[in-house]
Amino acid sequence: MKIAGVGSAFPKFWYDQPTLTRALLAIWDGDPAVQSRLPALHANTKVDGRHLCLPLEEYARPRTFTEWNADWLRCALELGEQAVTAALRDANLRPQDVDAIFFSTVTGLASPSLEARLMNKLPFRSDCRRIPMFGLGCVAGAAAIARATDFVRGSPKGVVLVLTVELCSLTLQTRDRSVANLISSGLFGDGASAAVVVGPERRSAGPEVVATRSVFYPDTEDVMGWQIGAHGFQITLSADVPVVARERLPADVDAFLRDLGRTRADIRSWVCHPGGPKVLQAMQDGLGLAHDDLRCSWEHLRRAGNLSSASVLKILQDTIATRRPAAGELGILLAMGPGFCSELLLLRW
């Protein structure tokens, strides 16, 4: 099973972090605690700027969840089409070649889900299988690739499309003054990523997915996620995320590799979902890596922020474009997310 192509798409609106911080300070003008804390919290995210699916002034206007979600559907469909088209072009395949679509988001709701709506815009076959995934959050990009490889393992000529669209800016909660919400308002951005996974009987120069593993951490459901109600999506984000990344993830990676007759010393490349700077640093420290080993993750965080499920696929695309390992080398693709859980993939380049 190989990842034959990767594509991404971003909204046309991009703002540097100081501009975004000033706009949010204006929204929270009547709260002295926010005024004193927000600039430092945003600076600590190590994010230079982020893409937004709406013009910045739109976020100051009072809006209902219905309005936010309508914007999500409109923008997600546009970005999803762009990312899918780019990934299929990269794989030298057409929509008609696709046997299944795994679609993931955690920032908007739609039924029919987004991949069904894309099937009315692009010439997919009517027998293309649809697998919408909701709730996995940041881990979903890696998890969707893993589930796609499960699919093509039983279909050697199969072609599976993975699409992740996250419009995190549309979850802005102006009434929530919690530290978690203030941090997320400076960390998360908007974007879409797609990948094409093909079975072993299809030729591709992309990295092979050698093996995958899912890891679930019991009784950690309050570490990360959403509280969803009439207000929309309200973030749950615990300070325990870096702790799990530092103390639990390395042992899980080692166990995964040990069962495959490998060790960390065999791994030459790392494609890691960035989380935030504390999470990424915790991964780096726990796995005994150098800053340069996670350079694409750090650069992605700086340029675009955390795109939830879309980030790890964009980092994979950047790795292929700028730091592609030598043929035959082994790499790890990983992400962590709500559950709390991890998803690990062993790649052979």
Give the list of residues 6+ apart from residue 296 with CB closer than 8 angstroms, or none: 271, 315, 318, 319, 322, 323
Helix (H, G, I), strand (E, B) or coil at 336: strand
How many Å is the Cα radius of gyration of the chain? Answer: 19
Cα three-residue angle 291-267-147, rounded to 5 degrees: 105
Question: What is the CB-side half-sphere exposure of residue 331 using CA atoms within 13 A?
Answer: 25
The DSSP bridge pattern shows strands 224-229 and 208-216 to be unpaired
Are the beta carbons of 313 and 195 closer than 8 angstroms?
Answer: yes
Are the beta carbons of 238 and 338 closer than 8 angstroms?
Answer: no
- 138 flagged as catalytic: yes
Identity of residue 249 = L
**291 φψ region: left (φ > 0), alpha (ψ -120 to 50), beta (else):** alpha
For 284, other C-beta atoms within 10 Å of its C-beta total 20
Cα three-residue angle 50-54-58, rounded to 5 degrees: 115
* Catalytic site residue from 75, 138, 296, 341: 138
Tell me the catalytic residues.
Answer: 138
